[in-house]
Structure 1
């Protein structure tokens, strides 16, 4: 045993000496070294959208840390990009035009010494923000409009939506700004109290973090769509397990939960216990039939053309507005489908699927506020319009939020509200 201990002590001492030597070498390299490395050689480039990719040979220098590229834009702002020494290429972005740009490439060592620059003239392809502008799509919606775009490089951009309209004889102008780095994005301009007769003029600009901004793109005029909240006074629910068109009504009366709560106009706020609860047997009420998908079928009492849905989740926490409770988690529905009854074919017609997105970057109080406001979805999200006239609506709960929308544990729902208009006779 003593021999083993002595052997281990020798190994530890050896490692300590090696580590100390390495630390001393690094210390000398970072503090005493004042000799710059040689510059990169064999430099070539490949044009990119709004940028360039440089290829090169790195110098043979044991202290080499990285290769750096620097350029200055027309506003006088300098931007620097770097890549580790063991990578043979370096991407530079931020060019707003398809003109020649002067780029300086340096080799940099661990002490921060730069080599002499290698000046390279590059001509990039179309700018990244110009491609975003070319992808813009504007569409009217109900009391709002939205804009879609593609940002294939996933760069950080700002989208400025300038819009104006006349209301009560007064001209009004606004700008909504949205920041994004998603490959594909959609943003709404909401809550515009305008009729379908009032035109809205829209133009859009796009900027990046490098000081570039596009000229305004005229998107023309649009007319918003109009709808209204449907009264629930004439709504009725088939009984648990009663079938409509071969689909059974959900079981929602577990413990304090009641199926009728989803159409009573009262949302669960944590302490009033106003929601349906399937108890894990939502399809029919029989455990043998499983839980999801379960269906809430509503007799609207008359024929309507539907436009939007607003759903409210169970909060289920007695701390009220002070904590998230089960909003966007727990036993709430995260993924659902919508159907209407087609009297011509005597069958359920699929309308669309909606995934309730989990809020990101919000405080707990903001999440509670969002949960209390409810989660809105269009019947036809990509092309907002009314459904054909129907008397029956079906909400098909598919998955909960858990496991990235893969679990069948969504037992609860607080409220369903529908928008649209009464069908013409």
Structure 2
């Protein structure tokens, strides 16, 4: 659920020293989870990061790549957004626990990391129950369902189940969250009568396929891929991005991110089904979904979400298109050209990482640009007042 961008801190609302320390600690955990997940992903793709005497955490980063990226990073970010929205102190238990799971996993303590993720998932479900109690709408119920999917995946991970049983639940958490966000954004649009039941049915199929994958990976994988493909078609047909693509500025940028992501969601669904049938498409399934779809959504929503959650303002401009283009271009190289030359897998992975880094730098630059613009505007009235006072009476 998006936090309204208009909720800005009032002057004089200074955070306590303890609050600032906790905020910095949380931010460091989120950053370390992202960096270690990216490093682990590069190692898994064959990029030679590790040398003789490499630190143990690099090996753990490769081993726990999915848990670090989906839970310790993305899960924490989503939980922070929800905690800001509900304005309850206990809501911060969810992001705190998932953030601490990252260092635990990197230190080779999967039992502790799994327990923290279960605690985080349970707390996150409770937070979303509060959200539903405050606003009982289809999108809030879908957010609650996404939280339950995360808890299910975390519980299976803590119990030591194989990735084939865990990862579908984790991706279902992200996909359901995004679908709920888009449903909220388009709730005032006129849709066909069967649109909402179709969306609920597709997400129910996704959850059922996640559960089925633990017992029958073939049938579960086919149903999972079908649900993803169906959701891509639904979003392309009913999302407001089809209209905002023809606007200007931030609205057009968000539409480009969304529509490109929906295309990758369809590719991920097809590849997921193909993998279930024995085709060598696992990397395509995971990264078309995780990078092409999820990161495109994050890039599109970040200029709106960051001001509300981090209490900063960004100056949007054309540079935001650069990391987006690099992300999609590098994915095409990684997933499309590897069939011709296996060397494109590590090259594409390196450019995937570069796209994420470039987006982070672009967002930081946008914050600095806004602050500079704001400072210049603040000086101009004082300069005009001085020039007016110097004029002869």
TM score, norm. by length of structure 1: 0.24
Instruction: Decide which structure has the larger Cα Rg and report it.
Output: 1
More strand by proportion, 1 or 2?
Answer: 1
TM (normalized to structure 2)?
A: 0.25
**Higher helix content, 1 or 2:** 2
